[in-house]
Amino acid sequence: MDPKEQVPFSTRVLCEKLPEGYWPPAIGEYDGSQDSEDHLRKFRNIALLHQYSDAIKCRVFLNTLSGSAQKWCDGLPNGSITCYHDFKTVFLRHFASSRKYQKTDHCLFALKQGSAEPLQSYIKCFNQVAQDVPSATSEILMSAFSHGLIEGEFFWDLIQDPVKNFDEMLGKATSYINVKEAQAAERKADKVSTSTNKLEKKPPHPPTQPLPRAQDARPPLGPGLDTRPTPRVAAVQAPRPGS
Q: Average the pLDDT over each of 24-33, 48-57, 130-139, 226-235 and give the range with the smallest value.
A: 226-235
- Number of Cβ within 10 Å of residue 16's Cβ equals 13
Whether 180 has a pLDDT exceeding 90, the answer reads no
**CA dist., res. 239 & res. 103, Å (int):** 135
Portion of the chain with pLDDT greater than 70, in percent: 77
pLDDT recorded at residue 105: 84
pLDDT of 124 higher than 90: yes
Closest CA to 32 of 60, 68, 76: 68
Cα(140)–Cα(105) distance, integer angstroms: 8
- Average pLDDT of every residue of the chain: 83
Q: pLDDT band at 98, cuts 50/70/90?
A: confident
pLDDT of residue 243: 47
Instruction: Flag whether 222 is in a domain.
Output: no
For residue 159, give its domain range.
105-194
Same domain? For 71 and 145 the reply is no
User: What is residue 197's predicted lDDT score, i.e. its pLDDT?
Assistant: 65
- Helices 36-50 and 54-62: angle between axes, nearest 10 degrees: 130
* Residue 210 falls inside a structural domain: no
Q: Where is pLDDT greater, at 5 or 91?
A: 91
Element (H, E) at 148: helix 138-148
**89 and 151 fall within a common domain:** no
- pLDDT digit string, tens, across residues 64-78: 999 999 999 999 999
Domain count, the chain: 2
Is the residue at 242 inside a domain? no
Angle between helices 138-148 and 166-201 (to 10 degrees): 40
Distance (Å, whole) CA 131 – CA 38: 13
Collapse the DSSP code of 81 into the 3-class scheme (helix H, G, I; strand E, B; otherwise coil) and give the result.
strand
pLDDT of residue 48: 92
